[in-house]
Amino acid sequence: MALVNEHFLKLASNYLFADIAKKVNAYKIAHPKQRVISLGIGDVTQPLCPAVIKAMHKAVDEMAVQASFRGYGPERGYDFLREAIIKNDFLPRGIHLDANEVFVNDGAKSDTGNIQEILRWDNNIGVTDPIYPVYIDSNVMIGRAGVFENGKWSNVTYMPCDEGNNFTPQIPDHRVDMIYLCYPNNPTGTVITKEELRKWVNYAVKNESIILYDAAYEAYIQDPEIPHSIYEIRGARKVAIEFHSYSKTAGFTGVRCGYTIVPKDLKAKTLSGEEVALNPIWDRRQCTKFNGTSYISQRAAEAIYTPEGKEQVKATINYYMENARIMREQLQKLGLRVYGGENAPYLWVKTPNDTPSWKFFEEMLYGASVVCTPGVGFGPSGEGYIRLTAFGEREDCIEAMGRIAKWLGK
C-alpha cells in the first residue's frame, strides 16, 4: 500500500474557518428564524466595480472570436498586467522592478502557501503571533514546523504581538531562516512603521534570512507615513519576497487574481555554500505546477489601474473603511479595547474579563446572533481576542453593533 504524507496528519482536522462554519450552521439549524450577521470570515460584499465588469465583458467577447481567442497564457502573467503593476503599484513609490520579477497568480493565498517549496524543508521559520494560518499550515505539510506541543510548533519561532508591545514584534535574538510578516496585519489590523520594517530588513541582511512579506491589504493604508511595500526599504530586494492580492483591494475573492514579486537580487545557498538566485527557481516551479491565471481575470485586474478603475476601487475601499470607523467607535463606546480598523479592514477586540476566544465567540453567536473569529485560531497570542471584519454591508455592521450593545447590556 502507498504511504501517506504523515505531516498532513499533524494538522488540525479542520481549517479555522471550517470550524466556524460548522458551529454557525449548527446555530442556524437550532434557530431557523434568527438572522445571523457574519463579521467573521473576511469575504467582501460589494460588487465588482463598473470598470472591471466592462473589461471582463470585453475579454469574454474576445474569447468568442477566433482572431482574438486566448488559450494557455504565459505562466508569469500577461505583459499588459505586469507592466500596469509596475507602473502603478511600485514606480510612484520609487521602486524599480523588471517585468520578469512579477509573477501573476490566482490570489495571494496560493503563493504564500506554495513559496516554501523552493526552500529546503529543514529551514526554520519565524512568524508574528497571531498570524494568518496558511503560513504555518503550509510549512507543517512539508515537515518544516516540527511537533505540535502546548499550542505551538517546535521548529517555529513565535514573535508575540499584543497589547504589551503595542503589537510590534520583537526581532529574534537568534538566527531565523524564513520570516513571515503581514502588514497591514491579518488578523490584528495593525501596521508597521518604516523604522520598524527597516530593522527587519537589516536583520535579514545580517543573518542571510528571507522575509516573506504579505502586503495583501496595503490598499487600505490611510496614513501616508506607513509603507505599502517592503521594497521601500533599502536592501529589501536582496532579502524579501512580496505578495499582493486583488481579493480585498478590488473584490476579487471570486475572480481570483494577485501577484508575487521575486527580485532577481534575492539569493539562497546550497548546502555546499553556493549562492543561487530564487527568481528562476520560482519561475521553474510555476511553469511546472501552474498554467497561469485566466486571461479574463487578468484583463479585469488591468482595469483596476485605469483612471476610472482607480476611482471606483477607492470608493469601495472607503466604504469598507467607513464600516471599520463606525464599528471601532461603537465598540469603544461599549468600553471594549479595540485595535486596528484605521489602516486595515480588520478590528482586533480584547474580550471582556479575559474571556477565552472560543467561549466569547459562542456567547456572541448565541447572545447577539453575530459571528466573529476567535483570536486563538490565529495563534497562542490571539487568546483573549476576537477579530471582526469591516467587509459587510453598512446596514449589517450598524445592526450588529446594536445587537452587541444590547447583548452586553450597554
Q: In this structure, what C-alpha cell is assigned to residue 258?
A: 494577485
CATH code at 228? 3.40.640.10
The residues facing 373 across adjacent strands are 387
In a domain, 131, yes or no: yes
34 and 64 inside one domain: no
Q: Which of 256, 286, 307 is the last residue of a domain?
A: 307
pLDDT of residue 339: 98
Is 396 within the bounds of a domain?
Answer: yes
Q: Is the domain of 219 the same as that of 316? A: no
pLDDT at 367: 97
Domain end point (choices 285, 307, 329): 307
70 and 38 assigned to the same domain = no
Q: Cα–Cα distance between 336 and 329 in angstroms, integer? A: 10
Which residues have a Cβ under 8 Å from the Cβ of 294 and sit 6 or more positions away? 73, 256
Report the DSSP pairing between strands 370-371 and 37-38.
parallel
| SS3 of the chain: helix, strand, coil, percent, to 5 | 45, 15, 40
Which pTM does this prediction carry?
Answer: 0.97
Q: Are 56 and 296 in contact (CB under 8 A)?
A: yes
Are 189 and 133 found together in one domain?
Answer: yes
String of DSSP letters for 174-228: S--SEEEEESS-TTT-----HHHHHHHHHHHHHHT-EEEEE-TTGGG---TTS-S
The number of folded domains in the chain is 2
| 200, 340: one domain | no
Residues 280 and 151 in one domain: yes
CB-based contacts of 358, cutoff 8 Å, min separation 6: 374, 376
Do 275 and 249 lie in one domain? The reply is: yes
Q: Round to whole Å and give the CA distance between 104 and 82.
A: 7
What is residue 347's three-state secondary structure? strand
Closest among 333, 186, 336, 172 to 248, alpha carbons compared = 186
The span from the CA of 228 to the CA of 225, in Å, is: 9
User: Using CA atoms, how far apart are residues 348 and 338, in angstroms rounded to an integer?
Assistant: 6
The CATH number given to whatever domain includes residue 323 is 3.90.1150.10
* Whether residue 211 sits in one domain with residue 82: yes
- In this structure, the chain runs to a length of 410
pLDDT of residue 260: 98
Same domain? 177 vs 39: no
Angle between helices 307-333 and 50-63 (to 10 degrees): 130
Same domain, 248 and 228: yes
Q: Locate 210 and state its grid cell.
A: 528571507
Is residue 254 located within the same domain as residue 353?
no
pLDDT in tens, the chain (410 residues): 999 999 999 998 777 888 899 999 999 999 999 999 999 988 999 999 999 999 999 999 999 999 999 999 999 999 999 999 999 999 999 999 999 999 999 999 999 999 999 999 999 999 999 999 999 999 999 999 999 998 899 999 999 999 999 999 999 999 999 999 999 999 999 999 999 999 999 999 999 999 999 999 999 999 999 999 999 999 999 999 999 999 999 999 999 999 999 999 999 999 999 999 999 999 999 999 999 999 999 999 999 999 999 999 999 999 999 999 999 999 999 999 999 999 999 999 999 999 999 999 999 999 999 999 999 999 999 999 999 999 999 999 999 999 999 999 87
Let me know whether 250 and 319 are in one domain. no
Q: Are 52 and 44 in contact (CB under 8 A)?
A: no
Residue 209 carries which side chain, given as an amino acid letter?
S
In this structure, is residue 1 part of a structural domain? no
Are the C-beta atoms of 69 and 296 separated by less than 8 Å?
no
The residue among 292, 307, 322 that closes a domain is 307
- 8 A C-beta contact, residue 215 and residue 242: yes
Could you tell me how far CA 20 lies from the centroid of its own chain?
19
Q: How far apart are CA 92 and CA 98, in angstroms?
A: 15
User: Which residue range forms the structural domain that includes residue 155?
Assistant: 53-307
| Residue 290, pLDDT score | 95
Note whether residue 196 is domain-resident. Answer: yes
